Structure 1
């Protein structure tokens, strides 16, 4: 499809000869949502070797492995949307798709079975000039019915054959009432995406309410110090210091996890970020966590396959039996002494029983606390149920028509 040789080479194959085939936007006909629909099966019921790659030590299915599949599948859906009649049929596609962002991943409480098939399906739900939104679902067949596992919304960026410039993609033309509603909701998600980015703690100072919250935490700390209690730890009893809620990991990348540009595949990063978040929750809280949401995933800078991948995870906010975990991913180049931020993940996890309050000490930790609370509150205030319902209903209709 890409017109490159199989097998790893330290220098990616030259595709510059394909640049002349990149179509202009006027040569790209409008597409319907149904044109991009794809579905497939992860055959866990029949393939025992494959099953071993997905099963957890508790006998469930690894959510990190599934997210890796979803990221790859989203790219296939995006390529299904693109139709360039001016490109000769014997010429490899003169463009690339890369994951730029993942807005939100919702994970249901359905207990995933390692010996039952999982269906993966998706379609393009919104299109910009050089980007597209792809929605991907996972469902598992159990006791005669398909059960929802998760849903993710990916934002893909289209680049030319060498990855050096953005290129146009086919516009989206709704073909029915379902598609009209989905595209309209996609525009709203685009606006929300911009709002979220502009309202981050790094760009917007804490509100009066948030500042008051931090001051209350400070007062509790000072009260304990004045009482002479816990003076070495300097935080109230019955809580846990944020500085103790951390974990880190360095991963030695290998060529099997690369994309065409010899960069680490986005799904591979997602899998490892998910697993370190789970490990951190288990280690600190001493209860087995369940990941319910992953939000606001940025793909800021790629990681070269010959660099080290460094992950830092931290629990930044807790409420009742919920916790917010931030995982920051960096590219390390030891020979150059360079550390570059690559990704940021925000996980919402739940535990069987109530957990201790995470307590910030420094100003930096206080800002992480505020950021974690913002993400947690945004999930509880989210009004995506109606949008999700329309998306899933149309998915079911398209899936039924495929049979």
Structure 2
């Protein structure tokens, strides 16, 4: 049995984390929650927002839809059942779909899977929002964008020749934001799960738009609601973010120990630039790629979908982790992905990845996405990604070579600890 098979078997044996409670509860109600295939969902989203066929450098003006912008108090309450949807990724029956999602090992590409989960999250937002005063056949005067990805966890490596079933629902709402819980199954086995925070914008993407309040109606829904509220509380004081949570005493001690281990002959000013056999510098692990996004990955405002950016971040991190480990690692966890700036279709996207922390067989990677304006070539950071990979054998320790890298090292350590302590 190879490493990938052993990993899948051990993870699957430890836990099955699919949403069996809500899934079977909703199915028992007798309603059809299927939205077809993921390709059909993409087309439905375009129809709902009134996207014209073909690419236009200047998107169709949607200012006329602002008159349908509702007030929060006019929106009816919705339940989780109202937004629960399923969709098929037909890997087993559609050769073209399979080729887009398969890697050279015959397994499903992790980046593509996250991209599909993000698209389903957008569709679930469409299914949750109900505007009673919107005339029939009028495009929805909303745009939904990914604000944050709390986490995406890969439970088992998915085979690329068997259909995947994606499902999800709204699990929490704010005034203009929605938390979406997504699950992926293959032949009733849980493959992956994710938590996405989406925000609703008005028709012209110039301000927030209100969303229907969520009211849990069943006991199982109330459990999901309380879990979502607990996640929101934790986000107000993020333990992994250094600018929100200062260094703890053990972390300050760790910084000093790192300094002592990596200093040169002059204890105050110099450090050795030479790597030793038992460790590597963080800077030496760097891998970068530059991408030119195309209109096929855009929304109705000609900005790039968050799923496209996440897919490419996962793939550059996989390359970086593979080079560092000297073998093919397994992606296990993605956490705290924040979208700081929209990426316009005319922009150039630069992704840079580093191995920032290691522990036995695990590697914690950080990827940074920068947007380069195609006209001025000014550069702005738009995303930061944190991913956990597992190698077949113990990996060499990675250490910081500057103060900035020490900060990355500590942030990476925090994310790895959060991965270990996840429920």
TM (normalized to structure 1)?
0.89
Q: 1:220 to 1:235 in 2, by over 3 A?
A: farther
Q: Which of 307, 318, 338 is equivalent to 2:358? A: 318
Aligned to 1:395: none
2:290 is paired with a residue of what secondary structure?
Answer: strand
2:97 is paired with a residue of what secondary structure?
Answer: helix
In terms of mean alpha carbon deviation, does 177-186 or 116-125 score higher? Answer: 177-186
Q: Which of 52, 55, 61 is equivalent to 2:99? A: 52
Structure 2, unaligned stretches of length 5 or more?
A: 1-47
Q: Provide the aligned C-alpha RMSD in A.
A: 1.6
1:276 is paired with a residue of what secondary structure?
Answer: helix
Q: 1:182 to 1:203 in 2, by over 3 A?
A: closer
Q: 1:254 to 1:25 in 2, by over 3 A?
A: same
1:137, 1:203 → 2: CA distance?
A: 30
Aligned to 1:220: 261
Asked if structure 2 preserves the Cα contact closer than 8 Å seen for 1:235 and 1:359, the reply is no
2:97, 2:215 → 1: CA distance?
A: 39
Number of corresponding residues: 373
Q: Which of 319, 326, 346 is equivalent to 1:279? A: 319
> What's the offset of the Cα at 1:232?
5.7
Structure 1, unaligned stretches of length 5 or more?
A: 385-403
Matches within 5 A, 1:110-129: 110-129=156-175
Q: Deviations over 1:83-130 (max 9, x none)?
A: 11111112111111111110011111x231111010010000000011
> What's the offset of the Cα at 1:220?
2.0
Asked if structure 2 preserves the Cα contact closer than 8 Å seen for 1:278 and 1:289, the reply is yes
Q: Which of 141, 149, 173 is equivalent to 1:94? A: 141
1:375 is paired with a residue of what secondary structure?
Answer: helix
Aligned to 1:394: none
2:346, 2:206 → 1: CA distance?
A: 20
Asked if structure 2 preserves the Cα contact closer than 8 Å seen for 1:221 and 1:236, the reply is no
Q: Which of 186, 191, 215 is equivalent to 1:140? A: 186
Matches within 5 A, 1:136-175: 136-141=182-187, 146-175=188-217
Asked if structure 1 preserves the Cα contact closer than 8 Å seen for 2:240 and 2:415, the reply is no
Q: Deviations over 1:277-300 (max 9, x none)?
A: 000000122121111110000011
2:50, 2:297 → 1: CA distance?
A: 19
Asked if structure 2 preserves the Cα contact closer than 8 Å seen for 1:25 and 1:169, the reply is yes
Asked if structure 1 preserves the Cα contact closer than 8 Å seen for 2:240 and 2:414, the reply is no
> What's the offset of the Cα at 1:225?
4.9
Aligned to 1:131: 177
Aligned to 2:11: none
2:240, 2:331 → 1: CA distance?
A: 24
2:89, 2:137 → 1: CA distance?
A: 31
2:49 is paired with a residue of what secondary structure?
Answer: coil
Q: 1:232 to 1:176 in 2, by over 3 A?
A: closer
Aligned to 1:66: 113
TM (normalized to structure 2)?
0.85
Aligned to 2:21: none
2:300 is paired with a residue of what secondary structure?
Answer: coil
Matches within 5 A, 1:23-42: 23-42=70-89
2:184, 2:137 → 1: CA distance?
A: 34
2:220 is paired with a residue of what secondary structure?
Answer: helix
Q: Which of 170, 173, 188 is equivalent to 2:230? A: 188
Aligned to 2:3: none
